[in-house]
């Protein structure tokens, strides 16, 4: 048993979609969340910068005495997981492997689409993880960077969102995929729009669900589950307060977010 908290981080508040799944799957675990709101987006930055930023995030979480780290950010998971695991001697889980696994299990016609930020798509991390499991699958990818801004702007259910989805997804739709990986923390908030644009018969995969299951598996196998029977406590940290912080945070978490503490991430 290990009663220390689980650390979770993301480039911003989008990783709260992963926290939501962790809360459901591991209700008595304590969670410390860090959102690098001062430096979002990561998705359009170089690998070197994302490596530096994500190392600082893990270093901060380690000061909070976490027992493991969940990298909620697809961009970081796609380019820096190996590096983080080498640098920090603590279990680290990313979202790519669980998302790829869920997609391979879901597809029947062996045609999978993957959408994400520019960083995630250009890394080809999902493709590699899917092909490692099933080499006969055809994969179609598309960077959909504008979706991030649309969600942050609170425009998830507007005609702007539908028009953008139509434009981004038209080629993938022509490939007749039956499974689409939502490879970015923000995209689950566009499930309606993306689902309606793709049409019936396309299963949307949110990697957050599989990530929560994998986290549970690792804690169980290593005898690291929290022995408390009460509901876990949740602490939130950010590197900057945006103007609509509470509204955006609540949207991602699906419930009101407690006021976070601000830290200076550059000092880690
Ligand atoms: N959290 C990022 C991801 O999942 C999206 C936002 C960003 O570009 O930083 O890839």
Give the span between the Cα atoms of 121 and 44, in whole angstroms. Answer: 11
Residue 255: pLDDT band with limits 50, 70, 90: confident
| Domain topology for 6-94+209-267 | Rossmann fold (3.40.50)
Task: Give domain limits for the chain.
Answer: 6-94+209-267, 96-207
**Mean pLDDT taken over the chain:** 95
Q: Is 144 part of the annotated catalytic residue set?
A: no
**Ligand 1 within 6 A of CB of 40:** yes
Expressed in angstroms and rounded, the spacing between residue 148 Cα and the centre of ligand 1 is 7
Q: Do 96-207 and 6-94+209-267 fall under one CATH topology?
A: yes
- The DSSP H or E segment spanning 7 is strand 6-10
Q: What is the 3-state secondary structure (H, E, C) of 216-231?
A: HHHHHHCCCCCCCCCC
CATH of domain 96-207: 3.40.50.1860
Q: Is 79 part of the annotated catalytic residue set?
A: no
**Ligand 1 within 6 A of CB of 10:** yes
The residue whose two tokens read 């908030």 is 189
pLDDT at residue 84 is higher than 90: yes
Confidence at residue 251, expressed as pLDDT on a 0 to 100 scale: 85
Confidence at residue 122, expressed as pLDDT on a 0 to 100 scale: 95
Q: For ligand 1, what atom is nearest to the CA of residue 78?
A: 10
Question: Could you tell me the pTM of the whole model?
Answer: 0.94
Torsion sign (Cα): 81, 86, 91, 97: positive
Confidence at residue 74, expressed as pLDDT on a 0 to 100 scale: 97
**Ligand 1 within 6 A of CB of 148:** yes
Residue 2: pLDDT band with limits 50, 70, 90: very high
Query: Strand 31-35 and strand 6-10: pairing?
Result: parallel
More confident residue, 1 or 257: 1
pLDDT at residue 243 is higher than 80: no
From atom 8 of ligand 1, which residue's Cα is the shortest distance away? 43
Helix (H, G, I), strand (E, B) or coil at 118: helix
Expressed in angstroms and rounded, the spacing between residue 224 Cα and the centre of ligand 1 is 29
Mean pLDDT of the region 99-111:
98
Confidence at residue 242, expressed as pLDDT on a 0 to 100 scale: 75
């Amino acid at each position: 048993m290990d009663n220390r908290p689980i650390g979770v981080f993301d480039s911003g508040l989008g990783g709260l979609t992963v926290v939501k799944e962790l809360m459901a799957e591991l209700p008595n675990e304590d969670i410390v969340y860090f959102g690098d709101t001062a430096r979002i987006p990561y998705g359009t930055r170089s690998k070197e910068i994302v490596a530096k930023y994500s190392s600082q995030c893990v270093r901060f979480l380690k000061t909070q005495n976490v027992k493991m780290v969940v990298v909620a950010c697809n961009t970081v998971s796609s380019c820096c997981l190996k590096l983080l695991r080498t640098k920090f001697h603590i279990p680290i889980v990313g979202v790519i492997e669980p998302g790829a696994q869920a997609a391979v299990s879901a597809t029947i016609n062996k045609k999978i689409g993957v959408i994400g930020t520019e960083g995630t798509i250009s890394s080809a991390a999902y493709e590699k993880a899917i092909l490692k499991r099933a080499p006969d699958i055809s994969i179609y990818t598309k960077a959909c960077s504008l979706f991030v801004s649309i969600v942050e702007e609170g425009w998830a259910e507007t005609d702007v969102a539908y028009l953008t989805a139509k434009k981004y997804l038209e080629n993938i739709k022509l490939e007749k995929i039956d499974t689409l990986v939502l490879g970015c923390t923000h995209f689950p908030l566009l499930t309606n729009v993306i689902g309606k644009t793709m049409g019936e018969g396309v299963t949307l995969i949110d990697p957050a669900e599989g990530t929560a299951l994998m986290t549970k598996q690792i804690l169980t196998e290593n005898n690291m589950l929290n022995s408390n029977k009460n509901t876990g406590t949740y602490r939130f940290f950010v590197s900057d307060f945006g103007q609509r912080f509470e509204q955006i945070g609540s949207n991602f978490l699906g419930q009101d977010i407690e006021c976070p503490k601000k830290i200076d991430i550059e000092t880690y």
